[in-house]
């Protein structure tokens, strides 16, 4: 409120600096104090005792939320919230607090004027999105964890093919685990009456690392772009500065994910990848783009999996052992043929095919104009010419989901079969959401 009411630009900068620094200091103390103490001990033998700080729930996410709110008010892109209750609700809104999506005040606070009455239409849509998230988490991610956890726990014990399979399985596990949580948060919020922004858009279909970051953890990517990359200068200060800004943005993004040098290296790799792709786009012949797409997709996926090795590994030594295994430098070891991986892989591919077909055949421009979410045209046959009764008017930032609001007995039958499949084939040993640790 002080930032909004002050006309003196120098004083406004002081207020926003006070807000930003205090937020970052809190995050730095709770999340990174022991990390830097450990680094100093290893480098110089300082012998500084660890503080053993307990990490507050959701601090990485609500810090970014509050930072974006203050900065938007400073930029005069958002009016300051006059209600303490509304602001506190925005900061502590629990469904998305512990793992995202990162919801900005400009999206959330205006929706608090809605009447939060129960709505069967919103419940029908929200429950399907929740069920989609539960399917990703319990049926796919937790199943794949049975392969990933032991292999990354002792990669030297397994043969190259098993370790390579585990790396691919982890790429699918972290996607289904994280997007599954986001789906559940979005679905619960849809039932309550809030429309949260979409957080994933089939990222493994990307044909470049730049496209991958437009599709993966979309709310974080856009946050880093708007509040870090652009303030650093973006692409406005020449090519060299553009590459440096991309690199620094991803390096800090890696550190945000976790207090460990493996996360810093993961961000380093993606920063180098983004800078290299930016350079490549400025020199490659555009008429060959379609010809190179399959190879571009393979190279992008391989690069992302390389990054996931460091993201998942508990230390550099473990990561290097995994890399030696997947490159067949040390091929020997136990062969672990995990059958559910080969059964789930076609299901994941089918889901992407359906999503790609829906995105290609639907009319997102018309949907955005009317702010209605209907069944895509390729499913209209299920209604025999009758439009879905589950159309609703979401917030413009909310994503479009491929839903199956089938009428009557058919809908109940499909829903029952879906629930039974999830119940019967889900992993009995569930694991915490991967992003809870951040």
Q: 10-14, 321-325, 392-396, 429-433 — which is least confidently predicted? A: 392-396
Give the pLDDT score at 218. Answer: 93
Tens-place pLDDT, residues 132-141: 999 999 999 9
The reported pLDDT for the residue numbered 431 is 83
Decide: 193 and 114 in contact? Cβ < 8 Å.
yes
Average predicted confidence (pLDDT) for the chain: 86
Residues classed as catalytic: 257
* pLDDT of amino acid 415: 80
pLDDT band for position 359 (cuts 50, 70, 90): low
Residue 186 pLDDT exceeds 80? yes
According to DSSP, the residues that pair with 400 across neighbouring strands are: none
Specify whether the backbone of 19 is left (phi greater than 0), alpha (psi in -120 to 50) or beta: alpha
Residues present in the chain in total: 438
* Rounded mean pLDDT, 194-211: 92
CA pair distance 200, 184, nearest whole angstrom: 13
DSSP per-residue codes, 27-61: HIIIIIHHHHHHHHHHHH---PPP--PPPPTTHHH
pLDDT at 375: 46
Position 369 pLDDT exceeds 60 = no
Query: Average pLDDT, stretch 167-184?
Result: 96
Give the model's pLDDT for residue 87.
95
Asked if residue 362 has pLDDT above 60, the reply is no
Q: pLDDT per residue over 341-350, tens digit each?
A: 999 999 899 8
Q: Is the pTM of this model over 0.85?
A: yes
Tell me what pLDDT residue 373 has: 46
The three-point CA angle 225-264-268 to 5° equals 65
- Which position has the token pair 């889901």? 351
In order of 126, 374, 378, the CA distances from 131 in angstroms are 9, 18, 22
């Amino acid at each position: 409120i002080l930032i909004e009411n002050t006309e003196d630009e120098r004083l406004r900068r002081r207020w926003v600096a006070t807000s930003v620094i205090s937020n970052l200091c809190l995050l730095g103390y709770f999340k990174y104090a022991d990390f830097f103490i450990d680094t100093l001990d290893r480098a110089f033998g300082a012998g500084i005792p660890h503080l053993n700080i307990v990490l507050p729930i959701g601090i990485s996410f609500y810090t970014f939320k509050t930072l974006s709110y203050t900065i938007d008010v400073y930029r005069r892109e958002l009016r300051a919230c006059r209600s303490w209750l509304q602001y506190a609700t925005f900061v502590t809104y629990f469904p998305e607090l512990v793992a995202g999506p990162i919801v900005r005040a400009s999206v959330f606070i205006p929706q608090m004027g809605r009447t939060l009455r129960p709505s069967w239409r919103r419940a029908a849509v929200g429950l399907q999105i929740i069920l989609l998230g539960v399917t990703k988490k319990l049926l796919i991610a937790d199943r794949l964890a049975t392969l990933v956890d032991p292999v990354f726990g002792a990669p030297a014990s397994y043969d190259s093919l098993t370790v390579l399979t585990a790396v691919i399985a982890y790429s699918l596990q972290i996607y289904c685990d994280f997007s599954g949580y986001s789906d559940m948060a979005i679905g619960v919020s849809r039932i309550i009456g809030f429309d949260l922004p979409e957080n994933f858009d089939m990222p493994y279909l990307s044909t470049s690392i730049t496209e991958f970051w437009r599709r993966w953890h979309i709310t974080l990517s856009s946050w880093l772009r708007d509040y870090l990359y652009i303030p650093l200068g973006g692409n406005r200060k020449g090519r060299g500065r553009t590459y440096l800004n991309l690199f620094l943005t991803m390096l800090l993004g890696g550190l945000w994910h976790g207090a460990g040098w493996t996360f810093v290296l993961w961000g380093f790799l993606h920063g180098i990848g983004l800078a290299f792709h930016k350079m490549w786009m400025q020199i490659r012949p555009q008429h060959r783009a379609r010809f190179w797409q399959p190879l571009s997709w393979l190279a992008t996926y391989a690069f992302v999996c390389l990054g996931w090795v460091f993201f998942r590994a508990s230390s550099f030594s473990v990561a290097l052992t995994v890399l030696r295994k997947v490159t067949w430098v040390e091929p020997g070891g136990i062969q672990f043929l995990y059958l559910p991986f080969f059964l789930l892989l076609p299901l994941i591919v089918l889901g992407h095919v359906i999503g790609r077909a829906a995105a290609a055949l639907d009319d997102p421009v018309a949907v955005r104009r009317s702010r209605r979410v209907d069944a895509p045209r390729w499913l209209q046959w299920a209604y025999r010419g009758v439009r879905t009764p589950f159309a609703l008017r979401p917030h413009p930032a909310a994503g479009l989901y491929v839903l199956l609001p089938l009428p009557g007995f058919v809908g109940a039958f499909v829903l029952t079969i879906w629930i039974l499949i999830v119940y019967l084939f889900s992993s009995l040993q569930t694991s915490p959401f991967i992003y809870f640790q951040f």
